Structure 1
Amino acid sequence: MCGGRGTRLDAPVEKPLYEIGGRPMVDRVLEGVRPAVGTTYAVVSPHTPETAAHVDAPTIETPGEGYVADLERALSTVEQPVLTVAADLPLLTGSIVAGVVDAHERGSLSVSVPADLKRDLGVSADTTVESESGELAPTGLNVVGDGPERRLVLADERLAVNVNRPGDARIAEELL
């Protein structure tokens, strides 16, 4: 998913093209995803024309009306189950993705991290949910399929760093 405006990052480039460690985040995410899945698509919008031109993957065009609307549009064009990943996870690795794919049994799998991990790292935690295991933050890594949804909680700092703000980018650089 690489079609958002990235306004909180306040960068001179489209958010997916923002560089961490000298490489665009979208390239890092694609590198982490490709070893564990078959076909990869970059879900782009009118807000990310440079990203659409940059990526070395087929694209799915969405209207850019927001994450949920764009996700729904993208899901209508591919067969499920499908792994979805936000382009702002520059520390994602193939082993993390493979572990999530292996953990998926059926239905949907939502991957979260403990919200305290994000706070301890000093990265933004814009969205959190309460669960029986405590306060959790979604990571932007999910498997969407037909059937019941399950939550996988991973206390992995590489999944806790979504680059939404300049401070998040600094922390991603440090952890890289």
Structure 2
Amino acid sequence: MCGGRGTRLDAPVEKPLVDICGRPMLDRVAAALRDSSVETVRAVTSPHTPNTRDRAADLGLDPIEAPGDGYVSDLGFALARVSRPVVTVVSDLPLVAPEHVDAVVSAADGGAATACVPVELKRDLGASVDDALVFDHEGTAVCPTGLGVVGPAAADATIDTDADTDTHSTMYLSTDTRLALNVNRPTDIELAEDRCE
């Protein structure tokens, strides 16, 4: 998913093209997906990210051009054009690794799964937290990382706007700091760069 405006980041380039340790976030996420068990990698772009669409094409990601009406709407648009189950990952998760992707796929076990991290972990790191996405999981405040698996389509399933997955989703809870760093604000760039491998 790489079609958002990225207004909180206020970068001189489109958000997915912001460099983390010398590589655009889009390139880093695409590499993690390609080195995982995922078979096909596509980029969901929008009219807000024309340069990202071009970069995705250069990387061989076969872009899906969504309308740019917001994350949930664009996700639904993309899901209508691919087979399921499908791994979804946001382009602002630059430290995602193949083992993260494979762990969430394994947790989904053919269904749906959502990778989350404790909010306390994000705050301890100094990472930005979108309070609108925070929810309670067994007494712990958690938030989605932007990595998940959307399970097979079902007539009675709906998209959960907080978790990016079908309503019957397995929780994959991680304390890996690499999954706790979404680059949404300028301060997140430095935090991510400090943890590049």
CA shift, 1:108, in A, is 1.2
Residue of structure 2 equivalent to 1:102: 106
Task: Report the residue type matching 1:121 in the other structure.
Answer: L
Residue of structure 1 equivalent to 2:29: 29
Q: Distance in 2 between matches of 1:87 and 1:50?
A: 14
Residue of structure 1 equivalent to 2:143: 137
Q: Distance in 2 between matches of 1:174 and 1:117?
A: 16
CA shift, 1:104, in A, is 1.7
Alignment of 1:66-81 (within 5 A): 66-81=70-85
Residue of structure 2 equivalent to 1:38: 39
Alignment of 1:145-164 (within 5 A): 145-146=151-152, 148-164=168-184
Is the Cα contact below 8 Å between 2:119 and 2:134 reproduced in 1? yes
Query: Greater shift after overlay, 37-46 or 143-152?
Result: 143-152
List runs of 5+ in structure 1 lacking aligned partners. none
Query: Greater shift after overlay, 59-68 or 102-111?
Result: 102-111
Task: Report the residue type matching 2:180 in the other structure.
Answer: A
| 2:66 is the counterpart of 1:62 | yes
RMSD: 1.0
Is the Cα contact below 8 Å between 2:108 and 2:169 reproduced in 1? no
CA shift, 1:41, in A, is 0.2
Q: Distance in 2 between matches of 1:43 and 1:145?
A: 18
Q: Secondary structure at the match of 2:35?
A: helix
Residue of structure 1 equivalent to 2:158: none
Q: Distance in 2 between matches of 1:152 and 1:66?
A: 25
CA shift, 1:175, in A, is 1.1
CA shift, 1:15, in A, is 0.2
Residue of structure 1 equivalent to 2:19: 19
Is the Cα contact below 8 Å between 2:104 and 2:114 reproduced in 1? no
Is the Cα contact below 8 Å between 2:135 and 2:141 reproduced in 1? yes
Query: Greater shift after overlay, 89-98 or 1-10?
Result: 89-98
Q: Distance in 2 between matches of 1:102 and 1:108?
A: 10
Runs of 4+ residues over 2 Å off in structure 1: none
Task: Report the residue type matching 1:10 in the other structure.
Answer: D
Task: Report the residue type matching 2:192 in the other structure.
Answer: A
Q: Distance in 2 between matches of 1:173 and 1:72?
A: 32
CA shift, 1:133, in A, is 4.1
TM-score (norm 2): 0.87
List runs of 5+ in structure 2 lacking aligned partners. 155-167
Aligned length: 176
Residue of structure 2 equivalent to 1:166: 186
